[in-house]
């Protein structure tokens, strides 16, 4: 399978590409049905991605994709490029919004909830316990400790750790494998592989072709690619040991750029510090340069 120096398809891990591709209802339904073990989805209705708290002072959440199924169940779909120190907590926080939204504005209510599902596609490793390296997809639920039985089926989490997926085209056996391969490799391919010659995946590749983007769309995509590249560079630098003195300045400059973008997207100071190696004081100073009268996240 050939790769090209001149991209033909979008990198689906960029913020722009992920939202553009999976704002296509057919693709999102196929992806969720193939990758998750839950009830088959027949239809979805997209919801506003920005969720507000009960008051102006409450913390808001901005989901990548948010939808309600034909059975009135809530799905949050997140794609995270850079490692986040408190991503498990973020997942819990995000699922609180559709739970709270279900409470009617009246006195009498029996508290019966519709299911809430969070699907997180991660370009970093979240679970690092012994044996975790063999599992790309991890499910999490509320369980009873003594019996190990489900306490409730209303909160459901699924995490896809892409760095753990290393299958070759010849090893792809399921549509789940094909989706994960696309996430990791689509941006480097110049043709649709034979293993993806069916209607859903051909539609995915056709929609991802860079040549069909209008100038404004290409500009937005390129900005998204830059953000992705910076995050990857920072992560690579953070993992490396014994950085050369000449790389320190470049590392810090990239960290500042990531910090600015992350602050605008609502990341906390602790999360940005973990990602960039900048100190909390440096990040607060950066925040003042982009939102001098705004609220700095703690």
Q: What is the pLDDT of residues 84-141, one digit of tens each?
A: 778 999 999 999 999 999 988 777 888 999 999 999 999 999 999 999 999 999 999 9
- Look at residue 149 and tell me whether its pLDDT is greater than 70: yes
Which of 213-217, 223-227, 267-271 shows the lowest mean pLDDT across its residues? 267-271
Q: Exposed, middle or buried by CB within 10 Å (0-12, 13-18, 19+), for 77?
A: buried
- Look at residue 273 and tell me whether its pLDDT is greater than 50: yes
CA angle 241, 245, 246 (to 5 degrees): 115
pLDDT of 279 reads: 86
- Look at residue 235 and tell me whether its pLDDT is greater than 90: no
Give the 3-state secondary structure of residue 130: coil
pTM of the model: 0.80
Determine the Cα–Cα distance for residues 41 and 207; give it in Å rounded to an integer: 22
pLDDT category, 40, cuts 50, 70, 90? very high
Give the single-character DSSP code of 145.
T
Q: From 110, 111, 117, 71, select the one nearest 94 (Cα to Cα).
A: 117
Determine the Cα–Cα distance for residues 197 and 168; give it in Å rounded to an integer: 16
Determine the Cα–Cα distance for residues 213 and 219; give it in Å rounded to an integer: 9
Determine the Cα–Cα distance for residues 127 and 84; give it in Å rounded to an integer: 12
Mean residue pLDDT of the chain comes to: 86
- Look at residue 242 and tell me whether its pLDDT is greater than 80: no
- Look at residue 144 and tell me whether its pLDDT is greater than 70: yes
pLDDT of 119 reads: 98
- Look at residue 239 and tell me whether its pLDDT is greater than 80: no
- Look at residue 224 and tell me whether its pLDDT is greater than 50: yes
- What's the number of CA atoms in the CB half-sphere (13 Å) around residue 227? 20
- Look at residue 192 and tell me whether its pLDDT is greater than 80: yes
C-alpha gyration radius of the chain = 20
pLDDT of 32 reads: 98
Average pLDDT, integer, range 63-89: 91
Which of 9-23, 93-107, 221-235 shows the lowest mean pLDDT across its residues? 221-235
């Amino acid at each position: 399978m050939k790769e090209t120096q001149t991209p033909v398809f979008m990198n689906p891990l960029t913020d722009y590409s992920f939202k553009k591709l999976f704002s296509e209802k057919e693709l999102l339904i196929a992806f969720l049905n193939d990758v998750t073990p839950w009830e088959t989805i027949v239809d979805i209705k997209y919801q506003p991605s920005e969720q507000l708290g009960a008051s102006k002072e409450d913390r808001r959440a901005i989901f990548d994709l948010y939808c309600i199924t034909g059975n009135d169940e809530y799905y949050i779909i997140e794609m995270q490029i850079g490692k986040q120190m408190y991503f498990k907590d973020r997942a819990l926080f995000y699922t609180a919004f559709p739970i709270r939204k279900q409470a009617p504005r009246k006195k009498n209510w029996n508290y019966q909830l519709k299911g809430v599902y969070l699907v997180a596609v991660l370009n970093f490793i979240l679970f690092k316990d012994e044996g975790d390296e063999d599992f790309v997809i991890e499910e999490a639920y509320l369980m009873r400790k003594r019996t190990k039985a489900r306490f409730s089926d209303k909160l459901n989490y699924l995490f896809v750790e892409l760095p753990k997926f290393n299958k070759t085209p010849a090893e792809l056996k399921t549509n789940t494998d094909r989706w994960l391969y696309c996430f990791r490799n689509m941006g480097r391919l110049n043709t649709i592989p034979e293993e993806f010659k069916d209607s859903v995946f051909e539609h995915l590749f056709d929609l991802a072709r860079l040549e069909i983007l209008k100038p404004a769309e290409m500009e937005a995509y390129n900005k998204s690619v830059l953000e992705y590249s910076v995050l990857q560079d920072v992560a690579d630098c953070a993992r490396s040991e014994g950085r050369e003195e000449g790389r320190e300045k470049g590392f810090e400059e990239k960290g500042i750029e990531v910090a600015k973008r992350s602050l605008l997207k609502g990341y906390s100071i602790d999360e940005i510090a973990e990602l960039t190696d900048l100190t909390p004081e440096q990040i607060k100073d950066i925040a003042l340069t982009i939102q001098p009268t705004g609220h700095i996240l703690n």
